[in-house]
Structures are given as C-alpha cells and as structure tokens.
Structure 1
C-alpha cells in the first residue's frame, strides 16, 4: 500500500513537538504540504528549521497562534483559509486534585483540548464537503475511556473529543469527507516524557524504570508493556488521512498498546 498526499495540504495543530510533530513528519513524508502550529514564534521557527532540514523536498509553513482562544483560532484560519486534511492534535494535561480545581481551570483546559478542534472543524469542514473530499482527525486519548482520577478534567475533555468526532462524522455522512478520532495510550510525547524524566530524577532511577513503574501502577493493562512512540501514533493518523481509508469514518481508532480492556 502506497500512501500519497501529493497536491494535498494538511493542518496539524500543536505540532512543534511530540505526537503533533510526528504526524507532521509522517504526512510530509507521504507528500503533503504541511502547516504546523505552536503558541510561540520561537517554537514554530525552530520546528520549521528542523523539518525543512530533515525533509528538504517537502513544503512546510508555520502559524503562531494560541488555539485556546477564539482570537488564536481566527488567526489560524485567516492565514490558512483552506485545507484538505485537518488534524486536531493540540492539547495539554495537568496532574491535579479534583477538589482543588477552580471553574476557570476546567474551562481553560476545555478551551484548548476541545474548543480548538470545534472551531477549526467549523471553519474547514464546509469547504471539504463542498469539494466532496477531506479528512478530519481528532487526537483523543485512552484517558477519555479510562478516566484518570488525578486528571479527571483531561479525561472529560478527551471523551468530549470522541463525541465531537462521532457527531461530525454523522453530520457529513455521504459527502466523501471522513471524521475520525485516534486514541493513543501512554506515549513518549513531550508532556508525558517530561513527567517521566521528573519522576526518574525525584526517585533516583532511570527514565525507563520510571516508565515501567508508571505502567505497573497506573496502566497495568498495557499489552505491549512499554510506552508507544510518537511515530507509532502518527502512522495511524497518516493512514486514516489517506484515500485508502475512505471507508473508515466515525471511528475511535486505538493506538493504546492494549491498555483499554475492550474488544470494541
């Protein structure tokens, strides 16, 4: 199977590092013109420099915008008014105590993790439907299915992404446009890897040992007994954005290492 995105444009939000960066690389490797996004000029410029060095024949552009705000979302679509592929990846997570969290903290996370994708889809989907082709992917998490007690807000936001994705797939049924969610498990992304490094330093162990400890205590149902790589998650996204995945829509596609104990 050869996936070819030549002549297609992709927007990947939150793509200066981690899973988003791996997705941008995977799409570019398959021939897409890729727009990356980050919150600061420095991160976007650095990512563009690195990507252009690694993929000299690929086309990259960057948009600096904080998609947690309506203004940031408006800036993105003003600079990139149309796209063939939209990957709603941007998001964050914070360990917290449910009883100590304020309303504002809940709403801030929801704005970034959920509303950023809602706003982007609201802009780009109608044009995809008009053309009769397009791909939208939401990067959710197994935490949206197994709500973690120390990140309830995060789990709720990722569950919301699954609901939005399925609802949009229903909305554009029969148009040639597909909408799906990808559900990673523990992954060596920028955020989780940072947590593991901090845990390793605090306990005087290696990062690999910290990861194994996390899996045993927090994700004991993992079937691969390791963290996924960002590239492994990106591989699923690249496939679901392809022509070959034209019959896959309204799905929640797990790249969770078997963490979720379900055959569905």
Structure 2
C-alpha cells in the first residue's frame, strides 16, 4: 500500500534508537527522507547507516531552544517538513517521595518541553503551508497511572493533553496533530531493565517477563513485549490518515481494559 510519503520529509526526534528508530525506518522504507536528532554523533551516524541512504542525523539537543532551532534549520535545508514525530522521552522506576525537584524538572524538560520547542517551530510552518502531520509518542502509562513511575506517567499524560490542544489549532486546515500510545516495547532500554530485574531477583529474563505480565499487567492481551517495528507501521498509518485528527491511537497490547 502506498502510504503517501514518497519524496516527503519527516523529522523523528530521538530517532537513533528504540521506537524512534523503528518509526524512522518505516518512513524511509516508504520513500520519505528522514531527519533524526540526538546528542551523540557516532550513534546518529550508525543509526542513519542502518536506516538508509535518505536518512540524515544532526546533533541537536531539544532540551534547549537553540537545539530546536538547529534541528529545524537542518531539516528545512532538505525541504518542507511534512511529518514531525515527537518521540524523545526518559523513564525509570522510582520512589515518589525520593524524586527531587531537579529530577521532576528533567522529566518535564525531556518528555514535554522537547516536543513543545520543536512543534512550536514546525507547526507554525505547517499551518502557513496548510499541510503537515504531527504525532506525539505518549505511553500506556499515561492512562494506566503507575505508582512507581509517577514522573513518567504524569508527563506522558501531559503529552496527551498537549497533542489534543494543538489539534484544536488546526481547525479547518490540512494540518493534523495526534498522539500514539505504545505499550511495553522490546527496545534496548526496556530489555536492559528486565535483564537487571531478572538479575536482582535471581530469575531468568523469560521468568521475569512472565511474572511481570502475571503480576503487573495481567490485563495485557499480548502477554509479551511489542516489536518496535509494529509501532513504525502504526505511527505512519496514523499520520497519513486524513480522517484522524485530535485522537489518541492505542497500541498497548490490550493492557488498558477499555474499548475507548
């Protein structure tokens, strides 16, 4: 199926690994030119080599306004920006009562402000051209609030509010803004977390995962980690469907026991 991205330009923030890289690969496979950003040039170059010849990486830290400007300029040099995927995020397991103000601000700056900074630039240009599509990568933790990941859940819930609010600014235009809610995915960081958990508990990784789904996510219908490539397909479908605007697309493996 032709997804309608051939020859168009897509920015995927934090696209050098994990879900971001999977999304970048899908756009590239469908014929788009892809721009990814990060803070490590060697990692960016390796990711671009893996993604393909029309992938370009730039060292641009969206934790700063200057980094957002650098990414915008780098992308614009390659054409009009048709797609923006706000993917940057951090997570860890923590005790709410031990999380410092500084760590809270790091969460807000990384999980929310990075997306605000680049969207503010890109979306204004899209509205001026009356064309474009933006997606925010949230998490099932935005809905299934997690007690030992309070900063993560809180900021991912905020991402949903940000996405819908920006969609309100697109009324009557050809610009769309949506959010995408993945479940627990087989990224390097998640696999590393379960490897550490298994070691701490004296279990195999397979047993640690089984216990996770039995005890933490018993409602999950998939009962296994999600292949990041599935999110690549899901995001590109969401971003190219002109009937979808201001919505949240769930890809959580059935973890949330709700049809809405």
Shift of 1:7: 1.8
User: Matched residues in 2 for 1:146 and 1:72: separation?
Assistant: 32
Local SS of the residue matching 1:146: coil
Deviation track 1:131-165 (CA, whole Å, cap 9, x = no partner) reads 22111000000101111111100001000100000
Shift of 1:75: 2.1
Partner of 2:192: 194
Partner of 2:44: 44
Shift of 1:234: 1.4
Matched-pair contact (CA < 8 Å) for 1:63–1:76: yes
Matched-pair contact (CA < 8 Å) for 2:28–2:51: no
Further displaced range: 84-93 or 201-210: 201-210
Matched-pair contact (CA < 8 Å) for 1:40–1:65: no
User: Matched residues in 1 for 2:64 and 2:107: separation?
Assistant: 11
User: Matched residues in 1 for 2:66 and 2:98: separation?
Assistant: 29
Residue 131 (structure 1) aligned with residue 114 (structure 2): no
Gaps of at least 5 residues in structure 2 are none
Gaps of at least 5 residues in structure 1 are 53-57
Shift of 1:71: 2.7
Partner of 2:246: 250
Residue 5 (structure 1) aligned with residue 5 (structure 2): yes
User: Matched residues in 1 for 2:149 and 2:111: separation?
Assistant: 13
Shift of 1:98: 0.6
User: Matched residues in 2 for 1:61 and 1:230: separation?
Assistant: 20
User: Matched residues in 2 for 1:132 and 1:65: separation?
Assistant: 27
Partner of 2:110: 112
Matched-pair contact (CA < 8 Å) for 1:69–1:112: no
Partner of 1:173: 171
Local SS of the residue matching 1:175: coil
Shift of 1:78: 2.7
Matched-pair contact (CA < 8 Å) for 2:132–2:175: yes
Matched-pair contact (CA < 8 Å) for 2:143–2:157: yes
Q: Where do 4+ consecutive residues of structure 1 move more than 6 Å?
A: none
Shift of 1:68: 1.9
Partner of 2:180: 182
TM-score (norm 2): 0.95
Local SS of the residue matching 1:68: coil
CA RMSD, Structure 1 to Structure 2 (Å): 1.3
Shift of 1:201: 2.7
TM-score (norm 1): 0.93
User: Matched residues in 1 for 2:205 and 2:191: separation?
Assistant: 8
